[in-house]
Structure 1
Amino acid sequence: MYVGETVNFTCKVTVSSGWTYQWYKDENELPDTSETISVFLGLSDKGSYSCRGIRGDVPTTTNSSEKTQQDVLEIPVPSLKKVTQWLDVFPTEGVELSCEMQSGSGWTYTWYKDKVEVQANNTVLFGLNRATLFINSTVSDKHNGLYECKGHLQDRTVKSISSSPLRLMVYDKKPDVILTQDPEYKVMFPGESVSFSCHINVSSGWEYLWFKDGSPLVGSESKYPINPVGATSGGSYTCRVKRGSNRNFTTDSSQALHLEVDEKKPKPLMTQQPDADKLYTGEPVSFECKVTISSGWTYHWYKDGASLLSDSSSFRIDNATLLNNGNYECKAIRSRTMFNTERSDGRTLLISEIPVPSLKKVTQWLDVFPTEGVKFSCEMPTSSDWTYTWYKDTKVQTNASMTYGQDKSTLTIHSASPSHRGNYSCSAKLKIRSVKTSRSSELRLDVYDTKPQVTLMQTPEHSLMHTEDEVSFSCHINVSSGWEFLWFKDGNKLHISELSHSIGSVTRANAGLYKCEARRGTEMVFNKTSQDLKLDIEERPQASITLLTGWGEAFSTDSLVFQCEVTDGQYTDWNYTWFREDKPINTSRSVKYKVTPSNDPDQSSYKCQGIRTGRPTYSKISTSHKTKNLLLKRRVLLSITGVLFFGIVFVLLGCIILKVTRKPAAPDEKPDEANLFLTMAQLKDCSDAPCPLVEYITDADVNPPPKEGDENGTICSETTPLPITSPEDKGNKV
């Protein structure tokens, strides 16, 4: 019996009458004495019931009746279950539910949807004792709701409470099927493994169908693994799902996933940031390793072949030092499949100390004058990618009187003043990176309070010069350097830019008014002009040479006498210098010079020059006199004279000999005519008389070489001694 039911117990003694009854439950007396008792059952009423009869004043009792065991149970809660494996359904699907009481039999069931009893119709059917509920394939959204059931015993008042509800969800369209890939690599390589999963986001009880490029594959699970991937594994994969005993519900196909298989092993591309061939200490630098094919890569890094502790796609050095120099490489690994790529091309990292900029003066001076310009340059030894900062006495310069060149690589002061005095330096910074240098060494700029003085000086300091004198002008400026000099004569610019202007041999044309100008700079010219210097030039006196030996003395002396004279009568007190073949003769400073065969055997050329202690100290050199030409003329005369003289002598001697030795002639013979004159051949062949032209005719022009075949080998030449006339014989002139 169940709680809530009523049970009647009756106790009856069949012998005689007048009996009352005593009731017992579990040996405990009950207060009721009637023949029949009714018990509204509760759980406490469970037990063993018995009774006995009592009669008379003196009670007579019967024996106790047999005991009746009464069980009392709680009314069970029905168990609502789904017979089909799903409670979320789709059009054309059917649903079956079952309701079951856990104890006893004879139960019938009542069904409720959303607390309203369900009645059978063309879409809803009940099974035996309404223990099952079936919604056929015309299910629609009107069947959505919470379903419950209750049980009750047939012909009894026992009714259960409602079962736990089940919610039925009816969708109005087919569910979506999602295909996923694990790992999600769009491109895979031989030897890797991959798995496709087919997902449906509602209900259960599904069976899976797999397709590649539209053709069915073997498999009915939610996953389709490929291990290992091969060259033929590439293609477009899809899936669908079905459920039901008759497979009467099938979803649409999932989206397609394309698997590409690349048989070539990839090679990572490694890049560097900043992308510079040379970096500097303190800079950050990072390398990026990237495989452009597919995804899912982790990375391994190497320096000079040794592995680095990093698996990121980038390798960063925040503060580079010289120890970071080396060759860097990377390779990629798929941690899901342990597939390795080739190593990337190596990249050499070159870290250098930050160079110090070089400060230079563009203008050639660092001591300047008011209004003069100054220009500095700041240079880095490596590239032109720098900008510069300027300092004067350690303070950054932003003075309006200064201008800067491109990237501030130059600093220009157009008009200097004492306020610009100081120590200048510069620093540099890379344009595209945060690299900063230390300051350069300093250059000291001094600015004078006054402008310089330019002085023109002449050496020697004579206002009057003579032709052939050497004169030199020098332009002096008292301070600084880097000067260029301009020269002017009579206001006309000369093509001279040196510190001095020298004239090695002045002429009358060099006379005039001279001055110089000192200047420096090309863009910012600073110049000062000297005083004027006047140069006067006179013609230098001319020396002349005279031969004192006349033609009348040609045959009476063996020497020649020259005399030197300076014709300009303005200057006196001359001494003289003699030159033989343009070389000074140190043995004589006399006005006269004597030439003899002993002191001039080669018959040279002679000049002379006047010298004195005052200015002019010397004269122009005379024209030359050659003793060779003079003596040649003399020798020719002597030769002619000698030939005539000896010719007459020989004629006279011949006449005397003929006179003495002549015999009378035969009648028929005619005497030979006397040859009164010797022929030149006869004279040439003479051997017993000296030739008259021997002593002075010695040069090759007058003395031809001897001829072969002469009869006696005797030749008359200039080497034959010539009789020298003594000075006492000068009176006997030819």
Structure 2
Amino acid sequence: MYTGERVTLSCGFGGDPAGWEYLWYKDRLRDALPNTDSSATDRSSYTISSAALAHSGEYRCIAARGREPFYSDYSDPLTLEISGPPQTHLTVQSGWTEVFPTERVTLRCVIQGNSTEWIYKWYRDEQELPVDEANSSSVNGGTYTILSADQSHTGLYTCRGQLQRAAVYSLVSNSATLSIWGEKPKPVITQNPSSGEMYTGERVTLSCGFGGDPAGWEYLWYKDRLRDALPNTDSSRTDGSSYTISSAALAHSGEYRCRAARGSERFYSDYSDALTLDISGIPQTHLTVQSGWTEVFPTERVTLSTILIRLNCKLFVNIYLSGLYCLT
């Protein structure tokens, strides 16, 4: 039982013979309980109109009748335990409180003790919420679900319980503030190295993310078409918000996009803008002796030239002379 509840104890016999007056005792059997502002006897009943912690204890009754009273035996004791209002705890089931339009959000309310005794009450900014708020929310036991979030759902949420059998309430829960963003998020995709053209055999990492990077996201990657997310393979794999090509091949050329998803009932961000990855084969290099002869005399000037087959390639060539050879 909880403080504030009404409690009635009854005393009687099988068949209840007539003429009995009933006396009530708490904890000790010396003095029968008197009528007070919060408790009173009425024939075979003893009623506590608004229970307090002080009403906890062992109760017994005895019956008496006749002018020279004849007393029955005392009843067995009945232990009454009165508890203060229980603690209540509110959580956002997903773990994040920054929410985007159309996202589904579930709040969970847990009341200490036997939760089946309670009806759950939900509040936003200290105003009680209806069970169905314009078909955008639903209540199921200790959960309150926003089916499709919009900015009207922004606010400070709390909950508490009301006993099914009485107008007795739990303590108000801790609060959770939901912030609903104005639009769906759009991630930004970047490349490392940042050079526009890459060559076969190079390692390339693409990264996907948001400014402020809200929690709970899983990142999905797409190439050329948006139908199927890219799987992990021997040469490429996802890791958190990154997609790494360990050894680029010509087939890795194309347009890459990413998007993010979170929640058990998936909420998806918008797709990022496209990033074009251009993988080229290593260009051929041709070395010539500019003068045309390879037999050279002391003090003579010699010039070696390196020509790339693809003149538009961005490639740095280092020439080291030690005798006559070239490393590219």
TM-score (norm 2): 0.68
1:404 aligns with 2:146: no
| Residues 1:437 and 1:574: Cα distance change in structure 2 (over 3 Å) | farther
Q: CA-to-partner distance for each residue in 1:701-730, whole Å, 9 max, x for gaps? A: xxxxxxxxxxxxxxxxxxxxxxxxxxxxxx
Structure 1 residues 281-339: Cα deviation after superposition (integer angstroms, max 9, x where no partner): 11121222222155144334333344442575222222222222223333444456624
Q: Which runs of no fewer than 5 residues in structure 1 stay unpaired?
A: 1-278, 542-567, 576-589, 592-610, 613-734
**Equivalent in the alignment of 1:447:** 180
Q: Could you say which residue in structure 2 is the equivalent of 1:317?
A: 48
Alignment partner for residue 272 of structure 2, among 517, 521, 530? 530
1:517 is matched with: 259
Aligned residue for 1:529, secondary structure, equals: coil
Tell me which residue corresponds to 1:424: 157
User: Counterpart amino acid of 1:280?
Assistant: Y
Q: Show the counterpart of 2:247.
A: 506
Residue 530 of structure 1 and its aligned partner are, at CA, apart by 1.0
Match of 2:209 in 1: 476
Distance in 2 separating the partners of 1:335 and 1:425: 59
C-alpha contact (below 8 Å) 2:12/2:44 kept by paired residues: yes
> 1:302: which partner in 2?
25
- Greater than 6 Å deviation, 4+ residue runs: 568-571
* Structure 2 partner of 1:326: 57
Amino acid at match of 2:97: L
Report sequence identity in percent.
34
Q: 1:299 to 1:362 in 2, by over 3 A?
A: same
Q: Which residue of 2 aligns with 1:494?
A: 230
**Structure-to-structure mapping, 1:113-128, within 5 angstroms:** none
Q: Which has the higher helix share?
A: 1
For the residue of structure 2 that corresponds to 1:415, the secondary structure is coil
1:60-209 matches, within 5 Å, as none
Distance (Å, rounded) in 2 between the aligned partners of 1:317 and 1:428: 22
Query: Whole-Å Cα distance in 1 between the matches of residues 319 and 170 of structure 2?
Result: 78
* Contact 2:87/2:171 (<8 A) preserved: yes
Does the 8 A contact of 1:475 with 1:499 survive in 2?
no
Pairing of 1:198-597 with structure 2 (within 5 A): 279-295=1-17, 296-307=19-30, 308-309=32-33, 312-335=43-66, 338-344=70-76, 346-382=77-113, 383-398=115-130, 399-407=133-141, 409-466=142-199, 469-479=202-212, 480-491=214-225, 492-495=228-231, 499-503=240-244, 505-508=246-249, 511-513=252-254, 514-523=256-265, 525-537=267-279, 572-573=317-318
Q: Secondary structure at the match of 1:378?
A: strand
Larger-Rg structure: 1
Q: 1:414, 1:524 within 8 Å by CA — same for their partners in 2?
A: no
Instruction: Report if the CA contact (8 A) 1:453-1:478 is conserved.
Output: no
* Superimposed CA distance per residue, residues 579-604 of structure 1 (whole angstroms, 9 cap, x where no aligned partner): xxxxxxxxxxx99xxxxxxxxxxxxx
Moved more, 492-501 or 287-296: 492-501
Quickly say closer, same or farther: Cα 1:413–1:326, change in 2 above 3 A.
same
Deviation at 1:538, TM superposition (A): 5.5
3-state SS in 1 of match to 2:270: strand
Match of 2:288 in 1: none
Cα deviation, residue 529, structure 1: 0.8
Sort the Cα spacing of 1:354 and 1:510 in 2 relative to 1 into closer, same or farther, 3 A: farther
- In structure 2, C-alpha distance between the alignment counterparts of 1:350 and 1:468, rounded to whole Å: 75
Aligned counterparts of 2:80 and 2:201: Cα–Cα separation in 1: 74
SS at match of 1:494: coil
Give the 3-state SS of the residue equivalent to 2:269 in structure 1. strand
**Partners of 2:138 and 2:144 within 8 A in 1:** yes
Q: Is this contact kept in 2: 1:301–1:330, CA < 8 A?
A: yes
- Contact 2:218/2:241, CA 8 A, preserved across alignment: no
1:420-445: CA deviation from partner (whole Å, max 9, x where unpaired): 33222233211222212343333222
Deviations 1:436-469 (A, max 9, x none): 2343333222223333221112222234445554
Structure-2 change in CA distance of 1:510 and 1:306 (3 Å): farther
Provide the secondary structure at the position in 2 that maps to 1:444. strand
Equivalent residues in 2 for 1:580-729, closer than 5 Å: none
The superposition leaves residues 465-517 of structure 1 with CA deviations (integer Å, 9 ceiling, x where unpaired) of 45554332221123533323222234331347753234373242771432211
Aligned partner of 2:109: which letter?
Answer: C
| Counterpart AA for 2:154 | R
Q: 2: distance between equivalents of 1:384 and 1:509?
A: 63
| Counterpart contact for 1:490–1:512, Cα < 8 Å | no
Deviation at 1:354, TM superposition (A): 0.8
Q: Following the alignment from structure 1 to structure 2, what is the Cα–Cα distance between the partners of residues 419 and 400? A: 11
In structure 2, distance between residues paired with 1:439 and 1:300 = 39
Change (3 A) 1:524 1:330: farther
Would the aligned equivalents of 1:284 and 1:319 in 2 still touch at CA under 8 Å?
yes
Which piece of structure 1 moves more, 515-524 or 453-462? 515-524
Task: Give the length in aligned residue pairs.
Answer: 274
User: CA separation in 2, counterparts of 1:341 and 1:356?
Assistant: 41
Partner Cα separation in structure 1 for residue 78 and residue 206 of structure 2? 67
- How far 1:531 sits from its partner (Å)? 1.9
Q: Distance in 2 between matches of 1:451 and 1:503?
A: 26
Quote the Cα distance in structure 2 between the aligned partners of 1:294 and 1:363: 59
* Aligned 8 A contact 2:185 2:269 in 1: no
Q: CA deviation at 1:368?
A: 2.7
Which amino acid is the alignment partner of residue 533 of structure 1?
A: L
Within 2, Cα distance between the matches of 1:304 and 1:319?
A: 19
Partners of 1:468 and 1:506 within 8 A in 2 = yes
Indicate conservation of the 8 Å contact 2:162/2:168, yes or no.
yes
Partner-residue secondary structure (3-state), 1:323 = helix
Structure 2 residue identity aligned to 1:417: D
Consecutive unaligned residues of structure 2, counting only runs of 5 or more, are: 35-40, 233-237, 284-307, 310-314
Write the letter of the residue equivalent to 1:532: A
Q: For each residue in 1:317-374, what CA deviation from the matched residue of structure 2 results, as whole angstroms up to 9, or x when unmatched?
A: 2222222222333344445662432531x33222221124322223443233333333
Contact 1:484 1:498 in 2 (8 A): no
- Contact (CA 8 Å) 2:138, 2:146: kept in 1 or not? no
